[in-house]
Chains A and B, each alone.
Chain A
Amino acid sequence: MASAVIGNLAAHPVSNAAPRATQDPAWMRWTLTAIALLFLTFFLLLPLLAVFGEAFRRGISAYFSAFADHDAIASIRLTLLTALISVPANLVFGVAAAWTIAKFQFRGKSILITLIDLPFAVSPVISGLIYVLVFGLQGWWGEWLMDHDLKVIFAVPGIILATTFVTFPFVARELIPLMQTQGSDEEFAAISLGANGWQTFWHVTIPNIKWGLIYGVILCNARAMGEFGAVSVVSGHIRGETNTMPLHVEILYNEYNFVGAFAVASLLAVLAIITLVLKALVEWRHAQTRGT
């Protein structure tokens, strides 16, 4: 502990001394801080409050009756199902891709990295259209799918595919730089001590990337639940069947059911806030374990 205190003192040399070279005049500091705070208030805090304000405009019972609706419950269930499938899928894929990229040298590595980034680069609407093009009735496999009585587009599988595609990069992007900085020495050490590949992976690799992995999964989950564009294209907007929460919000809003729309939106907002709290918690925990 003592050394930590000394470290802190060294890191913040006497704060009441003469102004440091990197310090700007007071008026500039206050102006910049004020601009930042105003920006945050108008673009983030007020919209968020507006969502809750609108949702509770007709009182608490009106708010909760929005969730009693059969279609609303179906949309919540579909959103959770989608996240439940696409997040684990991307978890497995992300770890595998990051492991391959960070620990091995091979031809075409930079192409693979670029491909992983692709879902971030293209508009989600286009991602959705790609799936319509492939699995839709007029698409490449449309006829074959229809012959076998399989529905992908305008059905749950299409929604899950599109969501998985859009949230593809989160875990891998989080892990690649982390694994690259950690290097492969610990894995080599484990192997030279007689561990097999599986033991090395579970006992050495996974614990080392644990926090980055959790972080990536949280972000991936947030996006999976909130995705609108790609899902909108492949969903077909069938009430009670292929509407996820974001799509349901849009429909209610278009029908002038503002309380219902904002109530469902507020639930999404709460999920987002929980995600952010979890993310902050993970970062804090990670800093703690680093510190010891």
Chain B
Amino acid sequence: MSIQVSSIRKTFGAFTALNGVDLNVPSGKLVALLGPSGSGKTTLLRIIAGLEFADPGSGQILFHGTDVTRVPAGKRKVGFVFQHYALFRHMTIFENIAFGLKVRPRGERPAPREIAERVRFLLKLVQLEGLEGRYPSQLSGGQRQRIALARALAVDPKVLLLDEPFGALDAKVRKELRRWLRRFHDEIHLTTVFVTHDQEEALEIADEVVIMNQAKVEQVGTPQEVYDRPASPFIYQFLGNVNVLRAQALAHAGAHQPHPSALESDGRVYVRPHDIEVVPHVPGASGMTAVLRYVHAAGPQARLTLEQVQTREIIEVEIARSELSQLELKAGDLVNLRLRQGHSFVDDYAI
């Protein structure tokens, strides 16, 4: 089921959480709502779920073309998973998952045997068979989150909404669980929206990334689109590391020729650390001269911190470990830097 959100506004007193947000989630896709804290992403998710209502007269939420703006949460057929699981602490895992079925009105409620079957099926689906009798406090964080997912799926939702689903987990479990979620989504093909502030997470598993900032949607696109062609300086900086260099300094150094209008206004040029090439210093050669300050070689890539000789700007560069050993560099060495690609937002022109 697709979701359309049009010009939704939400204010809490003087604070504007959502300022006319539009969003289109295609049916069956896994979409990430990505943004820094306070950008309004969780509020948007809760409004889609019906746990929060948009300001009166502001806009619409459509589920597959049907207006659900005023429909209460319980009737929207939405599965919601909370950051801190929100499992019912006094109920067993079985009772937690069965809850949504047991609270149905008598006519629609499945027979106890059917409920038990459904619970077992869901536990198998989230690979946690045999935990029926446990209490939430006896489970690990990753297990709890999967139980929360099973509970949300029990009522056969048409849309799955996850609020920072991996936010409370440690780094290793988080990585495992997000890959599991991706595989899981490929199996069940349920329209899914998840909120995250972790760009790596969003870029890794989402079909489409919606980047929010200051109560607005800044850009929507596939992970590669938003990473390669960020729509704003904010997104450039938010999605991974970036060097912000002055256009005139670059031109002066002969490292690259930025666009004339960028030069004129001495605009900023955004360059990813891995888009900079490091070559041994030869006087008179092209590229800007820099002094190597630090080498961080712990990791798959070597990170170099350099200082531009003329402008004293600090530049971060990432190169392969093999390349680093070939160059035989040490702190204090002079090198030349060449830009493979950069981006300036003057007239939206990429160099």
Residues on A facing B (Cβ under 8 Å)? 185-186, 188-196, 199, 203-204, 207-208, 210, 292
Judge whether A192 and B74 touch: CB under 8 Å: yes
- Residues in B whose Cβ lies below 8 Å from that of A292: 135, 137-138
Q: How far is the CB of B120 from chain A (nearest CB, A)?
A: 18
Interface centre among B84, B100, B155 (most CB of A within 10 A): B100
- Residues in A whose Cβ lies below 8 Å from that of B78: 192
Judge whether A204 and B88 touch: CB under 8 Å: yes
Given A186-B89, A189-B88, A192-B49, 13 further pairs, Cβ under 8 A: A189-B80, A189-B82, A190-B88, A190-B99, A191-B74, A192-B50, A192-B74, A193-B154, A196-B74, A199-B103, A203-B99, A292-B137, A292-B138
Q: How far is the CA of A199 from the CA of B101 in the complex (A)?
A: 12
Q: How far is the CB of B228 from chain A (nearest CB, A)?
A: 37
Q: How far is the CA of A146 from the CA of B103 in the complex (A)?
A: 51
Q: How far is the CA of A208 from the CA of B137 in the complex (A)?
A: 14
- Residues in B whose Cβ lies below 8 Å from that of A210: 90
Judge whether A188 and B86 touch: CB under 8 Å: yes
Q: Is the interface of A mostly helix, strand, loop or mixed?
A: helix
With A192-B50, A192-B79 known to touch, is A208 a contact of B155 (CB < 8 Å)?
no
B179 close to chain A: CB less than 8 A: no
Judge whether B51 and A192 touch: CB under 8 Å: yes
Q: How far is the CB of A120 from chain B (nearest CB, A)?
A: 30
Judge whether B86 and A185 touch: CB under 8 Å: yes
B182 close to chain A: CB less than 8 A: no
Q: Provide 9 A-B residue pairs closer than 8 Å at the C-beta atoms, listed in order of the A residue.
A: A188-B51, A188-B80, A189-B80, A191-B72, A191-B74, A194-B104, A196-B74, A207-B90, A292-B138
B151 close to chain A: CB less than 8 A: yes
B324 close to chain A: CB less than 8 A: no
Interface string of B45-86 (1 = CB under 8 A from A): 000011100000000000000000000111100111010101
Q: How far is the CA of A189 from the CA of B99 in the complex (A)?
A: 10
- Residues in A whose Cβ lies below 8 Å from that of B135: 292
Judge whether A194 and B79 touch: CB under 8 Å: no
Q: Give the 9 A-B CB pairs with smallest separation, nearest first.
A: A193-B100, A185-B86, A194-B74, A195-B103, A192-B80, A189-B86, A207-B90, A192-B73, A199-B103
- Residues in B whose Cβ lies below 8 Å from that of A207: 88, 90-91
Q: Which residue of A lies closest to B103 (CB)?
A: A195
- Residues in B whose Cβ lies below 8 Å from that of A204: 88
Contact of A186 among B88, B100, B154 (CB under 8 A): B88
Q: How far is the CB of A146 from chain B (nearest CB, A)?
A: 50
Judge whether A185 and B84 touch: CB under 8 Å: yes
Contact of A193 among B91, B99, B137 (CB under 8 A): B99
Q: How far is the CA of A192 from the CA of B50 in the complex (A)?
A: 8
Q: Which residue of B lies closest to A199 (CB)?
A: B103
- Residues in B whose Cβ lies below 8 Å from that of A190: 88, 99, 103
Judge whether A193 and B82 touch: CB under 8 Å: no
- Residues in A whose Cβ lies below 8 Å from that of B104: 194
- Residues in B whose Cβ lies below 8 Å from that of A196: 74, 103
> Which residues B238-297 have CB closer than 8 A to chain A?
none
Q: How far is the CA of A193 from the CA of B103 in the complex (A)?
A: 8
- Residues in A whose Cβ lies below 8 Å from that of B91: 207
Q: How far is the CA of A192 from the CA of B47 in the complex (A)?
A: 12
- Residues in A whose Cβ lies below 8 Å from that of B84: 185
- Residues in B whose Cβ lies below 8 Å from that of A191: 51, 72-74
Q: How far is the CA of A207 from the CA of B91 in the complex (A)?
A: 9
Q: How far is the CB of B15 from chain A (nearest CB, A)?
A: 13
- Residues in A whose Cβ lies below 8 Å from that of B99: 190, 193, 195, 203
Q: Which residue of B lies closest to A192 (CB)?
A: B80
Q: How far is the CB of B43 from chain A (nearest CB, A)?
A: 13
Judge whether B51 and A203 touch: CB under 8 Å: no
Q: How far is the CB of A104 from chain B (nearest CB, A)?
A: 13
Interface centre among A190, A194, A204, A292 (most CB of B within 10 A): A194
Q: How far is the CB of A199 from chain B (nearest CB, A)?
A: 5
Q: How far is the CB of B118 from chain A (nearest CB, A)?
A: 13
Interface centre among B49, B72, B73, B78 (most CB of A within 10 A): B73
> Which residues B9-42 have CB closer than 8 A to chain A?
none
- Residues in A whose Cβ lies below 8 Å from that of B73: 188, 191-192
Q: How far is the CA of A292 from the CA of B103 in the complex (A)?
A: 26
Q: Which residue of A lies closest to B134 (CB)?
A: A292
Q: How far is the CB of B151 from chain A (nearest CB, A)?
A: 7
- Residues in A whose Cβ lies below 8 Å from that of B80: 188-189, 192
- Residues in A whose Cβ lies below 8 Å from that of B155: 193-194
Q: How far is the CA of A203 from the CA of B79 in the complex (A)?
A: 19
Judge whether A186 and B86 touch: CB under 8 Å: yes
- Residues in B whose Cβ lies below 8 Å from that of A192: 49-51, 73-74, 78-80, 152
Interface string of B99-142 (1 = CB under 8 A from A): 11001100000000000000000000000000000010110000
- Residues in B whose Cβ lies below 8 Å from that of A193: 74, 99-100, 103, 151-152, 154-155
Q: How far is the CB of A50 from chain B (nearest CB, A)?
A: 44
- Residues in A whose Cβ lies below 8 Å from that of B90: 207-208, 210
Q: How far is the CB of A3 from chain B (nearest CB, A)?
A: 11
Judge whether B103 and A188 touch: CB under 8 Å: no
Q: Which residue of A lies closest to B97 (CB)?
A: A193
